[in-house]
Amino acid sequence: MKTFRTDLHIHTLLSPCGDLEMSPANIVSLAGQRGLDIIGITDHNTTKQCELVWKLAQKTNLTVFSGCEMTSREEVHCLGLFEDFDALRVFQDYLNQHLTIIPHNAALFGYQVLIDEDENILEELENYLGASLDVSIEEIERKVHELSGIFIPAHIDRPRNSLFSQLGFFPPELKVDALQISKLAEEVTIREKYKISQDITIVKFSDTHFPSDLGKIYTNFEMESPIFSEIKMALAHENGRKVQVP
């Protein structure tokens, strides 16, 4: 078994709150320099910048998974990660159908730019990506799992946009692959505070929006190889695979 430093919650410049320096090329090069083995691209309510990050990483040792940080109707943030671009495209259609339409104000919320390999702007997204989807967290979870994806409620300990801040409890029907705690949180404290059973895996990712934060926070995945099925097994602590928050 090998250990892979993994951070599956990273924003690109396409997120309104993502720094313009978070270009796909910059993310790939910094992630490599700072010792990450696996990253996940999770912009707010869009997957459109994922493929370029993945493509640029093909010439490196870095593994990139594509995903999204969704905002549910209850304003809960949750991560979805997908194995391939077919699933990702279906999920992007789902996002297009369900994003609440609020015209984006770049001066107020920051740019939402989609760029190409030469860092030319392909598109400035017109609808505000920080708006919520018109579907519940349970509906989003079912959609992610229908596409064989990984579903992880984000930064569950935060006072805003988290499972506990928005719902006040953990919905018993919600099937999570793990829960992500925020960078300063301690796993033991969080388990105790929110009464999270040991059967539920806890991970820590960076939620990076700025180059300076990249690589600082990660979870170690102990598994055979950096592929999606191994990530799933590690999260489920199956067949000797496991995750460990350093």
Q: Which residues bind Zn ion (CB under 5 A)?
A: 69, 77, 154, 207
Specify the amino acid at residue 10: I
Coil/strand/helix, residue 117: coil
Residue closer to Zn ion, measured from CB, 177 or 230: 177
User: Least distance in Å: CB of 87 to Zn ion?
Assistant: 20
Strands (E), 100-210: 113-115, 121-124, 150-153, 179-181, 202-204
236, 203 in Cβ contact below 8 A?
no
12, 31 in Cβ contact below 8 A?
no
CA distance 129 to 14: 9
Residue closer to Zn ion, measured from CB, 77 or 143: 77
Residue closer to Zn ion, measured from CB, 113 or 154: 154
CA distance 66 to 51: 7
User: Least distance in Å: CB of 103 to Zn ion?
Assistant: 22
CA distance 130 to 92: 15
Torsional sign, CA 94, 98, 102, 107: negative
Please choose, from the candidates 126, 73, 78, the residue with its C-alpha nearest in 3D space to the C-alpha of residue 104: 126
Residue closer to Zn ion, measured from CB, 77 or 98: 77
User: Least distance in Å: CB of 154 to Zn ion?
Assistant: 5
User: Least distance in Å: CB of 157 to Zn ion?
Assistant: 12
Nearest residue to Zn ion, by Cβ distance, number only: 77
Residue closer to Zn ion, measured from CB, 48 or 77: 77
User: Least distance in Å: CB of 9 to Zn ion?
Assistant: 6
- Listed in sequence order, the residues at least 6 apart from 178 whose beta carbon sits closer than 8 Å to its beta carbon are 150, 152, 200, 201, 202, 203, 235, 243
User: Least distance in Å: CB of 225 to Zn ion?
Assistant: 27
CA distance 155 to 170: 14
User: Least distance in Å: CB of 33 to Zn ion?
Assistant: 22
Residue closer to Zn ion, measured from CB, 69 or 177: 69
65, 8 in Cβ contact below 8 A?
yes
Residue closer to Zn ion, measured from CB, 79 or 113: 79
